[in-house]
Structure 1
């Protein structure tokens, strides 16, 4: 097991901190080993930096002013050793600190992804683009907290060693530094709170702009189709301008803070150098000691400025930790039970049974889906279809009535067991980047089925025939036969290289490959023509009957081709069961049904 894998397992086992402060504390505790080594080596580097002006001053007093060649050679050798130690300590110290930062950022990204991809869902209230920004940018900012600690300890070490050296040379100078540095740092804390507020506003507006950009890219074809591209562009322009304003405000605050740190360091250097020069003129300091004091005072501006940067990093980490904690502590979207279902549902009771179910716009719906049945659902209100899909997918928190799968109440079922028994292929299904093969086998793999071979060398195997049969049933065999790569045909991110109808047919084929005990299809043919729709209806019904004689299929659609293949059709109107019968009888007897279906 690699160190990264071990860190990932450790992150998965740890409880999620409840507050932003607890998150930062855990971040530091989790990387304490690397932070300690990094801080130790960086402190050694800073100590060597302090000793450089000391070594130069001693060289002047011991070798230059006395003309002692032997002492000069010893001093030069000492300087060479000092610089070797200085460079090595910084190299390895920075490596440990950077390693801690990158590993922690990796773990925070994994935690964010784990929370977003959890089967129970999350109710953070963040859109997809905002979640992306939190899981990337904010995770990186929080991870810099550990690096800031290593830097801060090293800079404090430099100030302490410098102060001790100045006290050894001249007590009044040392005391002046000892009192001046804390006072200056205390004054520099005042703008830190403003940095936190400005950074939080910057991250929030940037995340909203990212979310809007993600939505626009995903729906670009639709926007162009309805002629709303210009309005969408204006909305994004306004969001981008707000993000720009917030970013400029944060940059201005950071720039002001950096300027204050630089100015304070320069003033401090001037005061110390002036005091040391006055003491040298009075004969209280030698030439070498004057060089040491001025050199140390000049060097002291670096750790003071670095401490200012550390304060800035702490402020940014606080702002990002608040946003990341909101995501990690988001409540579950659903709260399932722990009862398990068998891999094959029993013939009795029915596969799915609804008794007086009320959820969303549904009002007292009774519905039974027996093993082996192919049932169509026609809803006159799209909200009824959405409510029914949520109910069968296990997302209907607080629904009234009783919903049973395999004779067991849905709220009592383990979510994994429920989704293994009931596959809901929603209208807006997403395909993943890869190939046709990888998109088709993903659902079967998740359900414990056999994976198909991953190369063309495996063509003509049983698994390949299994996939091709599903594609044929979904009228998507042309995607394989019409491409030189066949099943290994590339699929871009979100299937951008496929048309809407092709994406819909591949998603249907993926659902058929999964071969679940209960298959729920929601408008699976809205993006195809009538001829293709008829082929899909025939192929889907035939494949389900051949592969899963005891499997139940529920199709929520208004397609006459699909409804004609159903054993019976249930009509939902105003949230209630209005009529039930075969497609032919309903089309003959019910004028409302004819109006909704026959076109």
Structure 2
């Protein structure tokens, strides 16, 4: 079995749909040349069959020469063998071209989306991303598959035209006029088809995005009574999409009708004219057979030519959508190839946000209490480079100048919105199979989540549904914390990681985190954005943030004594922490 190659997609020009398609073709120069050659030979060998048959009739049968009959019969056999061999080679090449092209586009989209990361949602409406990453890549592959057939069809039409001109100049001139005329009339139908397909794909992407949003937030919608309103919107959008689909179907029907009608008309006109010429003794019987064969054969390359134009049009629409996605710029430093000076080694770096004045020291357990709880999420995202504003640094190196993979490997942001996927619990907690069981158990103990695993029939090998629907909110928080600790990032940033657990479990988690950082933690720091006194009490240092700026730092007890506003902020009805 032939192995399909994986092409390098670096440096492909995607400034426009046309440039992008040409760049993909350019990446497959040898394959494209071979495909064009086999397609041209395949179609031309079919076009020459009527010539051999006509010569056998005129020079052999009509002339009574058996040798000519045998000679031209062998010619027909040879053309048949060439047609079969090149047809197999062309179809094999076409499948490879389609697969390689679709794979190339998919890998480019996947790589670029990965490089954009969380910034994609801020920069682009991602409703059509599903279509862009799946169906559009296939559409481009099919379009490039038909590109070879277009060349082959054009070659066959040219060969037939030359043969007709050689036999009869008037008939050849007529074919030269009719073929471009019929092709031009058919191409007029491509414009509305192109326009309607573009509109349909746009609406389809929007509706797909809305369906995903509704499905993911169905529980919330039912809770606030918004299910009917969103269902009505979905039905309205669906009706609009159906209307656009009808327009596409009409345009496609018109084009398909023309695809059948035009070659048929050409066959009728050429055959009828050849018959008239034969009646006036301007053509022989063999030549009439040739012209009938030519006119019948022309239906195939003309149909392929028109179908190819339709598929290339679809591919251009898809390429435009993909190019629009690929042209979204990546933030400075987001590229893995970005040059940057390596920051301080692990365990020596400070994570500093100069905008707020927050300074996270190495190997520490730090808590951040925001007077306005809504400020916690943006500040955490800025520290972890999920928000553009601000100038955080890793030691003295601005994070905007660091390659994104460096930041992701050293700074981890854990939010309550982070999701679990379907798989075993072990697969969801650890990144790969190299994570030791002892490390998993340590992370589970620190997150006070061992009871969750112990209650499962198969322990860590128990199946987990998508989004962890079989677990409660508090259980998911603890599993999420264990997963974050297993990453082993130099700085782990947590935002309200215990607001869904009971006070007793929360105290145990706080105590475990304190104990975790008392032991040699390999230069790891944990930053918790919280207002929980149980976590604040165990933190080695607390930063008090007001209006986006750190106004005080110290232990929880020190801040309670020195800042009345802080004391009011974190006070609970209970006067003492819950003890086990």
Please give the range of the TM-score, normalised by the shorter of the 2 chains.
0.7 to 0.9
Give the superposition deviation at 1:317.
1.9
Provide the rounded CA distance (Å) in 2 between the counterparts of 1:70 and 1:494. 79
Provide the rounded CA distance (Å) in 1 between the counterparts of 2:345 and 2:548. 32
* 2:416 aligned counterpart, secondary structure: coil
Contact 2:332–2:401 (Cα < 8 Å) also in 1: no
Give the superposition deviation at 1:73.
6.3
513-522 vs 568-577, greater mean Cα deviation? 568-577
Partner of 1:553: 526
Contact 2:365–2:513 (Cα < 8 Å) also in 1: no
Q: How does 1:497-516 map to 2 (within 5 A)?
A: 498-516=471-489
Partner of 1:490: 463
Contact 2:119–2:386 (Cα < 8 Å) also in 1: no
Give the superposition deviation at 1:189.
2.5
Check if 1:598 corresponds to 2:572: yes
> TM-score when scaled to structure 2?
0.88
Partner of 1:111: 108
540-549 vs 320-329, greater mean Cα deviation? 540-549
> How many residue pairs were aligned?
566
Partner of 1:83: 80
- Assess, with a 3 A threshold, how the Cα gap between structure 1 residues 572 and 46 changes in structure 2: closer, same or farther: same
Q: Deviations over 1:20-44 (max 9, x none)?
A: 2211110111122222222222222
- Assess, with a 3 A threshold, how the Cα gap between structure 1 residues 115 and 478 changes in structure 2: closer, same or farther: same
- Assess, with a 3 A threshold, how the Cα gap between structure 1 residues 101 and 550 changes in structure 2: closer, same or farther: closer
Q: Deviations over 1:105-158 (max 9, x none)?
A: 101100100000116665584344422211212222223342232011110011
Give the superposition deviation at 1:48.
2.5
Contact 2:353–2:359 (Cα < 8 Å) also in 1: yes
Contact 2:364–2:517 (Cα < 8 Å) also in 1: no
Partner of 1:477: 450
- Assess, with a 3 A threshold, how the Cα gap between structure 1 residues 36 and 582 changes in structure 2: closer, same or farther: same
Check if 1:23 corresponds to 2:12: no
Give the superposition deviation at 1:473.
1.6
Contact 2:6–2:100 (Cα < 8 Å) also in 1: no
Contact 1:116–1:122 (Cα < 8 Å) also in 2: no
* 1:353 aligned counterpart, secondary structure: strand
* Equivalent residue for 2:382, pick from 391, 399, 402: 391
* 1:43 aligned counterpart, secondary structure: helix
* 2:134 aligned counterpart, secondary structure: helix
Partner of 1:451: 434
577-586 vs 529-538, greater mean Cα deviation? 577-586
Check if 1:38 corresponds to 2:11: no
* 2:362 aligned counterpart, secondary structure: coil
Check if 1:217 corresponds to 2:215: yes
Q: How does 1:150-165 map to 2 (within 5 A)?
A: 150-165=148-163
Partner of 1:132: 130
- Assess, with a 3 A threshold, how the Cα gap between structure 1 residues 233 and 528 changes in structure 2: closer, same or farther: farther
Partner of 2:165: 167
Q: Deviations over 1:563-588 (max 9, x none)?
A: 23223433334334466555456668
Partner of 1:47: 44
Partner of 1:14: 11
Partner of 2:577: none
Give the superposition deviation at 1:328.
0.8
* Equivalent residue for 1:303, pick from 285, 301, 304: 301
Give the superposition deviation at 1:207.
1.2
Give the superposition deviation at 1:244.
2.4
* 1:117 aligned counterpart, secondary structure: helix
Provide the rounded CA distance (Å) in 1 between the counterparts of 2:140 and 2:98. 9
* 1:572 aligned counterpart, secondary structure: strand
Give the superposition deviation at 1:416.
3.0
Provide the rounded CA distance (Å) in 2 between the counterparts of 1:393 and 1:591. 28
Partner of 1:459: none
Partner of 1:360: none
Give the superposition deviation at 1:54.
3.2
Check if 1:102 corresponds to 2:99: yes
* Equivalent residue for 1:178, pick from 171, 176, 179: 176
Provide the rounded CA distance (Å) in 2 between the counterparts of 1:334 and 1:227. 43
* 1:368 aligned counterpart, secondary structure: strand
* 1:243 aligned counterpart, secondary structure: helix
Contact 1:334–1:397 (Cα < 8 Å) also in 2: no
Check if 1:267 corresponds to 2:240: no
> TM-score when scaled to structure 1?
0.85
Give the superposition deviation at 1:246.
2.1
256-265 vs 587-596, greater mean Cα deviation? 587-596
* 1:339 aligned counterpart, secondary structure: coil
Provide the rounded CA distance (Å) in 2 between the counterparts of 1:106 and 1:495. 32
The answer for unaligned runs of 5 or more in structure 2 is 574-580
Contact 2:333–2:402 (Cα < 8 Å) also in 1: no
* Equivalent residue for 1:339, pick from 311, 322, 341: 341
Partner of 1:457: none
Q: Deviations over 1:372-429 (max 9, x none)?
A: 4322222343441122112211244342xx5333344433434333333322223322
Partner of 1:291: 289
* 2:341 aligned counterpart, secondary structure: coil
* 2:430 aligned counterpart, secondary structure: helix
- Assess, with a 3 A threshold, how the Cα gap between structure 1 residues 5 and 487 changes in structure 2: closer, same or farther: farther
Partner of 2:578: none
* 1:330 aligned counterpart, secondary structure: coil
